[in-house]
Amino acid sequence: MRLGVLDVGSNTVHLLVVDAHPGACPLPAHSHKAELRLAQLLDDDGAIGPDGVDRLVAVVRDALQAAEDKGVEDLLPFATSAVREARNADEVLARVRAETGVALTVLSGAEEARLTFLAARRWYGWSAGKLLVLDIGGGSLEIAYGIDEEPDAAVSLPLGAGRLTAGWLPGDPPAPEDIRALRRHVRTEIARTVGEFTRFGAPDHVVATSKTFKQLARIGGAARSAEGVYVQRELKRASLESWVPRLAGMTTAELAELPGVSAGRAGQLVAGALVAEAAMDLFGVERLEICPWALREGVILRRLDHMASA
């Protein structure tokens, strides 16, 4: 059957269409993406303003049309941190449903972490042993650890690249004192959670998902996305540590010229790099592998599991 997963994230609204059935690997058939940056459309009271809701409704309507055009049989729509934390989330969800017919499921941070972990576990298999999975989104950082398909520990921290950029790094390039302040904040937040994971012992395999990690790996010399999903890509901490001071001194335009960095995400790269560096350092990770599957694939896999057991 043809499934569509509609991901209303902090940066983008992304429709992923796959051909899938229980027991088989989902095969991508179509991708429809629109930049929205909901995390940056919150007003001073933490609500998504009228213009932001108008744009969200329009983008969801376009994605729904794309899903229909591609013959999607079952649409799985969900929203993450930007909608989850908006003061007027219920109003936003009601309007989206009233005007498009799409009922968005709002995932909790812990659910995001668990579903991303499921995707990574299925990609690498049981032979990977104990997995530590890191994911930097626009609004939050998810961390999960475990040996099974359900993680033993999973947390979500408000350390997304878009959120931190908007709240901590107003300059272009950012001021050195702002970089230092953000670095302290990020490391303090992550350090509070390290003990929840280290008590389970060292992971056998550390993997990362998300656009931020993919861009940082590409800057560090990893293969281009055009070379396919089955090419192994990794990010070494030593490489990241050498790049962070250089990235911090670049303008958004200069960052956009780096290999693998899109113009739409360039402005968030410094904040994302600080989070990635802190996570790798505090968890003692020297290298990690980039996982092609993430939250959207986790949502699809969970649905297929439910179909198989029905």
**Residue 305, phi then psi, degrees to nearest 5:** -60, -45
Q: Which helix (H) or strand (E) holds 90?
A: helix 89-100
Residues of the chain within CATH 3.30.420.150 domain(s) are 109-295
pLDDT at res. 137: 93
Closest CA to 128 of 286, 284, 238, 289: 289
**Superfamily holding 2-106:** ATPase, nucleotide binding domain (3.30.420.40)
The predicted-structure confidence for 17-58, as pLDDT tens digits, reads as follows: 999 988 889 999 999 999 888 877 778 788 999 999 999 999
Is 267's pLDDT higher than 90?
yes
Question: Which of 269, 9, 240, 276 has its CA nearest to residue 135?
Answer: 276
Q: Would the pLDDT of 11 be above 90?
A: no
- The structure's pTM equals 0.95
The CATH number of the structural domain formed by 109-295 is 3.30.420.150
φ, ψ (nearest 5 deg) of residue 185: -60, -50
What mean pLDDT comes out for the span 269-297?
Answer: 98
Distance (Å, whole) CA 31 – CA 35: 13
Query: With contact defined as beta carbons under 8 Å apart, do 63 and 13 qualify?
Result: yes
- Region 203-209: mean pLDDT is 97
Which residues of the chain form CATH 3.30.420.40? 2-106
Instruction: Give the model confidence (pLDDT) of 117-172 as tens digits.
Output: 999 999 999 999 999 999 999 999 999 999 999 999 999 999 999 999 999 999 99
Instruction: Check pLDDT > 80 for residue 268.
Output: yes
Q: Are 169 and 270 in contact (CB under 8 A)?
A: yes
HSE on the CB side for 104, CA within 13 Å?
A: 34
| pLDDT at res. 133 | 98
Among 39-48, 82-91, 243-252, 297-306, which stretch is predicted with the lowest mean pLDDT?
39-48
Under the banding of pLDDT at 50, 70 and 90, the label for residue 282 is very high
Q: How far is CA 32 from the centre of its chain?
A: 16
What's 213's DSSP letter?
Answer: H
**Reported confidence tier of residue 307, pLDDT bands at 50, 70, 90:** confident
